[in-house]
């Protein structure tokens, strides 16, 4: 343990250090080796307006383009395509006789003819997504039964719209 004299010495050394370090830093900040006093320099700016920041784009007064609606023409009526057909069960038909082909517009009424037996049906195109395999049309199961038995699928067909 330290006696009272050693504690006083330590307290005085700490106080001197706390005061001396900032004084030395302030007074010793000059790097000039000459003893001549330095004179302050004055800078005069001719243009007092602030400059535009370099990262901002130049203002463009042209209006933004409007969204343009593009109408795609429907395929010509009387289009006939030959290929194969298969079936799928849609969960809710909502009174429609659904079928799907990417060859006709959604909502088109398509006439499908079975080339093996000559039976024909009409159905409503409800999807224009790409079909799996070589199928040109997929028909709702209950509607497909009017063309052929399910075990006969896929069947050769001709579609007209």
Rounded to whole angstroms, how far apart are CA atoms 65 and 63? 6
- Which domains are assigned to the chain? 80-160 (2.40.40.10)
- pLDDT bin (cut points 50, 70, 90) of residue 12 is confident
* DSSP string covering 134-156: TEEEEEEHHHHTTTS-GGG-SEE
**Percent of the chain whose pLDDT exceeds 90:** 29
Mean pLDDT across 26-38:
61
Element of type H or E holding 121: strand 120-127
Identify the weakest region by mean pLDDT among 37-46, 62-71, 115-124, 150-159.
37-46
pLDDT tens column, 106-138 = 888 999 999 999 999 999 998 888 887 888 999
| Distance separating alpha carbons of residues 144 and 153, to the nearest angstrom | 9
Q: Which residue has the higher pLDDT, 83 or 54?
A: 83
């Amino acid at each position: 343990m330290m006696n009272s004299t050693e504690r006083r010495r330590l307290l005085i050394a700490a106080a001197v250090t706390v005061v001396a370090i900032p004084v030395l830093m302030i007074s010793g900040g000059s790097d000039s080796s000459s003893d001549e006093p330095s004179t302050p320099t004055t800078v005069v700016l001719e243009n007092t307006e602030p400059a535009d920041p370099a990262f901002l784009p130049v203002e463009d007064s042209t209006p933004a383009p409007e969204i343009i609606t593009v109408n795609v023409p429907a395929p010509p009526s009387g289009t006939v395509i030959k290929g194969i057909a298969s079936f799928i069960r849609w969960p809710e038909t909502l009174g429609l006789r659904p079928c799907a082909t990417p060859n006709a517009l959604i909502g088109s009424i398509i006439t499908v003819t079975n080339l093996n037996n000559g039976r024909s049906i009409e159905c409503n195109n409800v999807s224009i997504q790409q079909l799996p395999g070589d199928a040109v049309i997929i028909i709702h199961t209950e509607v497909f039964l009017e063309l052929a038995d399910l075990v006969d699928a896929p069947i050769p067909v001709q579609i007209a719209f």
